Amino acid sequence: MIREVKFIVGRPTFTHQEPPFPVGVEYYRGGAPKPDMWEEDFSRIKELGFSIVRSASYWNWMEPVRGEYHLDDYDLFFDTAHKHGLSVWLDVMLSTHGACPEWLTRDHPDIRVVNYRGRPHYSNSHPAYPQGGVIHCYDHPLWRELGGNLLRHVITRYKDHPATHIWGLWDGVAPSSHWVDQHDGHMCYCENSLRRWKEWLKERFTLPDFNEQTLRRYGTWQDVEPPRSNNNVLEMLLFRQFHYENLADHLEWMITETKQLDTIHETRTHGAWFPRPWDETCAQPADSWGMSMSSNNVLTSSDPGPLIDRTFAFAWSRCLGLNGRWWNEEIYSGMAKGGVTWKKQTDPRELTTLLWLTLANGAAGAMFWQYRPDHVAFESPGYNLAALDGGPTPRLEAVSKTIGQIESIRDHLPLAVPKAEVALVVHQTSQELFGYNDESERFLADVRGTYRTLWKHGIPVDVVTPRKDWSGYKLIILPNVSLMTEGVRNRIESTLETSPETRFVAEGSFGLYSENGLSSYNPPEGFSQKLGVRIADFSRVTEQDIESGKTFLQSPYGDIEFVTETGYAVLEPSGATRSIATIEGQTVAVCTADGRFTWYGLTFSAGFGDFGPPELILGILRENGIQPPVSVDGDSVVPLVRQSADGGKLIFVFNIEPRNANVFLTPQWNVTSAVDVLTGHSLQVDRNTIEVQIPQWQVAVLSTTHAD
């Protein structure tokens, strides 16, 4: 049964025929699987409940000779999909994974990416693009000219096809140099990129202003050289900013070209399962954002953290998607890269848990990578749902069953994710700065560590950036907002002024760097006097300190034992600001007199095994009047409350532990009855408490009736 769904994505209002939560599969790349398999496969894909087949097209496959487009296979792909009632999601690979045609680099060798040492890059491949990956620079004029010709031809050819559903216009959006095998983290240094960079600088700075920004004494613009080391912090911040804005400009060009021909179908792009410094800039032009996500053994390992990190990625994608629209478009469906030796296969319950988590976190839909094994590269056997011969696997059967369960609750869909009381800030410029000191993983671990504890204790949390509206939150947590840009400073100040109910807690490196990347002379930059605090020194909790058993974080919520090394800032309060936490007698946390701003000079996770200590984080929440919407007694589970399309509430209860769970759930609202909508069974409600049993690595979906 199909119903008409309208969704507003910020430009036109689109109308599609689609299930309320479509689930699809990646299927075809550059000649594999062979067309003689499609009839049988598409019939089975439809029968199993999937509604979309996706193809990642390669430029050098589609245009092997200049101006000659070989698309007979795609004609058949679209027609076969339509015959079997499936929609097509087509990625037009002019960038990232898709190599440009060999004739283009042969005839125009200057289109190649040039690394920071001035060396052009040559052909490469990868399990995700075995027939060649990106070696061309998007700044070369021929990329838009010739790539645009192909893009316009493909859009025109298929825009009116009844199977057409989504245009994927940039798979894994990233600078061209990010995908070539340089391992240096730098951008492209070809003549075209450097010319655009110099023009970008001149639009924003006079030469004296640029010199002041970067502590240089250039006498002429001709002398300005691009930075070639991350140690050149002040100039590299500008160089990277240019490349990220330039990347977004290229993406916007692709979207504009598409929309001039087709105003009906959704345009979208995606990133990784973790924030990258250019993500927010690049998410702006597209109708929706998405993510790819490795999934092998993140549920079945002894550490629950990696699974929670996926839910953090969902919240990040919802933050970036236009009007919150996002897709989980690559749930990897099996062992990571099989090849000639093999790893432990993914437990089917991991895939079904990830599918339910995707739905519960407000996604527009989900895609699995991939249906059959790739057959082309060492991703085969690997990320597949079906076996090598196309037959079923336990993973495929489990996913199909879950699609059927989701269909059974269609009257509740689409779900709405209520605004949380807690916001967690991801500041991408600070993430960029951490990367220059080889601490990118530390930045992400500190953001995730706080999120992990909030999520595991059923505390709703929104991931936000300084571009978002922060008003209305009770608590805003700022992990490692280290580089105090004007944007983040204005957002903090305006929120303090206009949202009196909001409290801030900064953790770790807060305002230690000024707008241009220079170490602040008076950190926290712009807030030292306002908060009544200065940094007196820096130190570290070492392994020897931990082994001594005498080093604790002495906090308002008790003494908290360190389990891993961590650095910390020694803070010195002044005026009415008071010390609230210490390490060996040294102040490491302060709070303003009005209680609206607290700063811990260490992060909530670095010293505690990358998991925020519950006594600390839950203590802060209680102090700010925040409690979980559903309290849990009994075994550990994670409840998520969502708004049903029928106006009521659904409680998704996830058991991510390796044992069956017997739990008692007490919602904050009055409950008179409760039903498990997946089984249809009524549940016992006693004094507002619901008793429920959830098998190992499973989910229950509860609908409650509440008193007026």
For 150-159, the pLDDT digits (tens) are: 999 999 999 9
Q: Are residues 339 and 446 in the same domain?
A: no
Residue 293: pLDDT over 90: no
User: What average pLDDT does this structure show over 154-172?
Assistant: 95
User: What average pLDDT does this structure show over 268-296?
Assistant: 93
Residue ranges of E strands in 59-125: 87-93
| Alpha carbon distance, N-terminus to C-terminus of the chain | 34
Dig out the tokens for 455 from the structure: 């999520």
- Give the burial class of 659: count Cβ atoms within 10 A of its Cβ; 0-12 exposed, 13-18 middle, 19 or more buried: exposed
Please say whether the beta carbons of 357 and 320 come within 8 A.
no
pLDDT computed for residue 180 by the predictor: 64
Residue 549: pLDDT over 70: yes
Please report, to the nearest 10 degrees, the dihedral formed by the alpha carbons of residues 506, 549, 449, 368 taken in order: 170
User: What average pLDDT does this structure show over 618-623?
Assistant: 97
Read off the pLDDT band of 627 (50, 70, 90).
very high
Angle between the N-to-C axes of helices 233-261 and 428-436, in degrees from 0 to 180, rounded to the nearest 10: 130
Q: What is the pLDDT of residues 224-271, one digit of tens each?
A: 999 999 999 999 999 999 999 999 999 999 999 999 999 999 999 999
- 392 in a structural domain: yes
Please report, to the nearest 10 degrees, the dihedral formed by the alpha carbons of residues 383, 384, 389, 390 taken in order: -160
- 686 in a structural domain: yes
Pairing of strands 566-573, 533-541: antiparallel
pLDDT computed for residue 1 by the predictor: 29
Residue 529: pLDDT over 60: yes
Dig out the tokens for 339 from the structure: 């090849």
Residue 481: pLDDT over 90: yes
Min mean pLDDT across 226-240, 303-317, 370-384, 547-561 is at 370-384
pLDDT computed for residue 3 by the predictor: 31
User: What average pLDDT does this structure show over 68-87?
Assistant: 97
Q: Are residues 587 and 638 in the same domain?
A: no
Please say whether the beta carbons of 485 and 518 come within 8 A.
no
Residue 421: pLDDT over 80: yes
- 462 in a structural domain: yes
Residue ranges of E strands in 9-161: 13-18, 23-28, 52-58, 87-93
Q: Are residues 315 and 452 in the same domain?
A: no
Backbone angles phi, psi at 317, to 5 degrees: -65, -40
Q: Are residues 317 and 429 in the same domain?
A: no
Min mean pLDDT across 175-179, 574-578, 654-658 is at 175-179
- 458 in a structural domain: yes
Dig out the tokens for 496 from the structure: 């303090």
User: What average pLDDT does this structure show over 282-308?
Assistant: 89
Using CA atoms, how far residue 161 sits from 158, 324, 372, in Å, is 5, 28, 25
Read off the pLDDT band of 550 (50, 70, 90).
confident
Q: Are residues 120 and 177 in the same domain?
A: yes
571, 598, 623 — which closes off a domain? Answer: 623
Dig out the tokens for 300 from the structure: 């079945």
Q: What angle do CA 211, 440, 605 make, to 5 degrees?
A: 125
pLDDT computed for residue 4 by the predictor: 36
> What single letter denotes the amino acid at residue 320?
L
pTM of this structure? 0.95
**Tokens 């693009």 -> residue:** 129
Pairing of strands 503-507, 475-479: parallel
Q: Are residues 214 and 69 in the same domain?
A: yes
412, 442, 459 — which closes off a domain? Answer: 412
Output the CA torsion sign for 212, 218, 220, 221.
negative
Q: Are residues 217 and 198 in the same domain?
A: yes
Q: Are residues 537 and 661 in the same domain?
A: no
- 417 in a structural domain: no
**H-helix or E-strand containing 621?**
helix 614-623
The H helix count followed by the E strand count for the chain is 18, 30
- Whichever domain contains 80, its CATH number is 3.20.20.80
Q: Are residues 145 and 266 in the same domain?
A: yes
| DSSP state string for 263-328 | SSSEEEEEE-SS--TTHHHHHSSSSEEEEEE--TTSSSSS--HHHHHHHHHHHHHHHHSGGG-EEE
Residue 15: pLDDT over 50: no
Q: State how many domains the chain has.
A: 3
Of all residues in the chain, what percent carry a pLDDT higher than 90?
Answer: 84
- 554 in a structural domain: yes
**Edge-to-edge strands of the sheet including 685-686?**
630-634, 661-667, 689-694, 685-686
- 283 in a structural domain: yes
- Whichever domain contains 535, its CATH number is 3.40.50.880
Q: Are residues 446 and 595 in the same domain?
A: yes
Q: Are residues 644 and 590 in the same domain?
A: no
Read off the pLDDT band of 705 (50, 70, 90).
confident
DSSP 8-state symbol, 11: S
Q: Are residues 502 and 395 in the same domain?
A: no
Output the CA torsion sign for 440, 444, 446, 449.
negative
| DSSP state string for 345-410 | PPPHHHHHHHHHHHHHTT-SEEEEE-SS--SSSTTTTTS-SS-TTS---HHHHHHHHHHHHHHHTG
Q: Name residues whose C-beta falls within 8 Å of residue 285's C-beta, 6 or more positions apart in sequence.
A: 248, 251, 252, 255
Q: Name residues whose C-beta falls within 8 Å of residue 356's C-beta, 6 or more positions apart in sequence.
A: 402, 652, 654, 699
Please say whether the beta carbons of 115 and 137 come within 8 A.
no
Q: What is the pLDDT of residues 178-227, one digit of tens each?
A: 766 545 567 899 999 999 999 999 999 999 999 999 999 999 999 999 99
Length of the chain: 708
* Long-range contact pairs involving 72-75 (C-beta distance under 8 Å, separation at least 24): 73/28, 73/31, 73/35, 74/158
Pairing of strands 630-634, 661-667: antiparallel
Q: Which domain holds residue 460?
A: 422-623
602, 623, 644 — which closes off a domain? Answer: 623
Please say whether the beta carbons of 579 and 598 come within 8 A.
no
Residue 5: pLDDT over 50: no
- 288 in a structural domain: yes
